[in-house]
Structure 1
């Protein structure tokens, strides 16, 4: 918080400059001396509500706009889920509005059982060849190809050929539940079910 308060003066100066006002102009509008405003902007005078309120009113900003709030760590640190040869790595924070995962599908000799569940899935192939069975369609997608489909259509997915396929998948809430939950509870990194 101390660092945020130290940035208040420079932020005040930046807003004044954005308005094109001199120190004297803003000080006159806010009913204070130019030296008081100068000391506020340079951090040599402690800010108080009595001083800040007239300044923020004149500048058309809130006091909160002058306080720097540190952004949270943007890195996603969630464990990968492993099941039946799949590796499902979350790429978005828990509770994110967009459910994004990197899924590594293993190559299989036989197509997995077709599944149906509520939801939609969008996927993009990063590497390898991906076999998507969607209803009567039997498709092979290669690197750089994408697909979007209604998961109420019977479907199954696995790597085609002898190498794994890596895919970025985006699900709606129903799709996330099917891929990362067991019996209503969130799956662990070791035993999460995977519908595809």
Structure 2
């Protein structure tokens, strides 16, 4: 029973937090989910149990899912201990869990090779920041040097290749689903 109360409390805090993050009053959210403001207030404060149909309506109004409202608040998956994956000229550490929101993957990459691979094209956008070294970004016909501390963002529909310039380079990158597949699961990802 205590665990159920804890889940209820977490759900109530999430509802209130999402409402406040959007800058909505009780009246505004209540109108969106077809509840009275007093009913919504009692739900948020714990003076009323949340019915499943109300939870579905509230989640929809907050542009989230019931799963996200009720998921465990346990800390067991907070710390990610990445294991390096090696391919010739490239080491990758996945820094995001499998359940990352919006299907993005965060990775740290160490690129050792100054040449290699063919430019890739895939749907989406890519973003990276250089942690150390200098990246040689081939973007279509252009070559752009990206120094440590700088970041780059570009459409991945342009043929692109990320290489090390003058020595090893480390980057932190964010891939969408298409980028993850193209760069982390491709047969020759060493040129990335």
Q: TM-score, normalised to structure 2's length?
A: 0.58
Partner of residue 88, structure 1: 92
Structure 1 position 136, deviation (Å): 1.5
Instruction: Summarize the Cα distance change of 1:165–1:69 in structure 2 as closer, same or farther, 3 Å threshold.
Output: closer
CA contact (8 A) 2:120 2:182 kept: no
Partner of residue 102, structure 1: 108
Structure 1 position 178, deviation (Å): 1.2
The answer for unaligned runs of 5 or more in structure 1 is 12-56, 183-190
Of structures 1 and 2, the larger Rg is shown by 1
1:129 equivalenced with 2:134 (yes/no)? yes
Structure 1 position 79, deviation (Å): 2.5
1:141 equivalenced with 2:146 (yes/no)? yes
Q: How does 1:24-103 map to 2 (within 5 A)?
A: 60-61=45-46, 70-97=74-101, 98-103=104-109
The answer for unaligned runs of 5 or more in structure 2 is 10-41, 50-71
Partner of residue 169, structure 2: 165
1:180 equivalenced with 2:184 (yes/no)? yes
Partner of residue 29, structure 2: none
* Count of aligned positions: 136
CA contact (8 A) 2:89 2:113 kept: no
Structure 1 position 59, deviation (Å): 9.3
Instruction: Summarize the Cα distance change of 1:75–1:137 in structure 2 as closer, same or farther, 3 Å threshold.
Output: same
**3-state SS in 1 of match to 2:178:** helix
CA contact (8 A) 1:82 1:192 kept: no
Instruction: Summarize the Cα distance change of 1:86–1:62 in structure 2 as closer, same or farther, 3 Å threshold.
Output: farther
**3-state SS in 2 of match to 1:178:** helix
Q: CA RMSD in A?
A: 3.3
